[in-house]
Amino acid sequence: MILNIAVCDDESAVCEYLRDRIADLLAKWDIDGRITVFNDGEPLASAFEAGQAGFDLIFLDITMKSCDGLSAAKRIRAVDKDVMIVFVTASAEYVFSGYEVRAFRYLLKPELMNGFPSVFKECVNELTRSDGARYVFQSGSESTSLPVRDILFFESNKRIITLRTVTGREYTFYGKLDEVEQTLKKQDFVRCHQSFLINAAKISSLSPNSALLSDGTTVPVSKHRARETNEAFLWAMR
């Protein structure tokens, strides 16, 4: 697996330290990773809003001059409920603000050198644990394997299935939605409609006849599948 990690801080020294430390630890643990550095929260949040981020983990400073980390995190959470956020800041006064955006951890800069390795290890353990399930499918002559947590939904139209990911990428392949549903029965997927199988963990909100997903897509919910869809949503949010 490859971990996509973002570092966002307006202090270049902190960015360099985190980038180098992350690279060293990933190499030590024999894990592939890509590290992207941002010096402000605005381009990071904009990348998520444009569906161009695809990060698994963000180390995010709170007190940046242009777009602060908390504002950026709120914008990110509006489109991505799953990305892991670790706040890195000089002050402890914002520690409780992290709960608003479900921050995974909170690191104080004065304790960064001693505290970072253990916190990063916790992040990697959690990400690799939840990343284990993958969905493999055949599209033409190519076989593709995707992390289940990166899939938003499957849509079936005359046995042509469209798969959309959290980054907005779409794949099409020939098959039966019943078979896809059976394959993913132990994951957080629910058949909300005859033509749609959705990732319940990516539902932002539910109405009696539709579900709003984390990327802004609205999918239909059949009347006779509404109860099952609601139960799956509540279970995924546990």
Domain residue ranges of the chain, discontinuous segments joined by +? 2-130, 134-236
pLDDT at residue 195 in the model: 97
- The count of C-alpha atoms lying within 13 angstroms of the C-alpha of 120, restricted to the half-sphere facing its C-beta, is 25
Question: 13 versus 145: which is more confidently predicted?
Answer: 13
Question: What pLDDT sits at residue 225?
Answer: 95
Structure tokens at 53: 């981020």
- The structure tokens 């932002």 sit at 204
- Flag whether pLDDT at 1 surpasses 80: no
pLDDT in tens, 142-153: 778 788 888 999
Interval 73-98 mean pLDDT? 80
Look up the pTM and report it. 0.56
**What was the pLDDT predicted at 111?**
81
Rounded to an integer, the average pLDDT of 165-183 is: 92
Look at residue 92 in the predicted model and tell me its pLDDT.
66
Work out the number of other CB atoms within 10 angstroms of the CB of residue 103: 22
**1.10.287.470, 1.10.10.10, 3.40.1160.10, 2.40.50.1020: CATH of 134-236:** 2.40.50.1020
In this prediction, residue 93 has a pLDDT band, given cuts at 50, 70 and 90, of low
Question: For residues 94 and 210, which has the higher predicted lDDT (pLDDT)?
Answer: 210
As a dihedral over the C-alpha atoms of residue 58, residue 63, residue 68, residue 74, rounded to 10 degrees, the angle is 60
Superfamily of domain 2-130: Response regulator (3.40.50.2300)
pLDDT average, residue stretch 218-224: 96
pLDDT, residue 6, reads 94
Across the chain, mean pLDDT equals 86
Indicate if the pLDDT at residue 176 is higher than 80.
Answer: yes
Closest to 81 in 3D by CA, of 219, 213, 206: 213
- Other C-beta atoms closer than 10 Å to the C-beta of 187 total 16
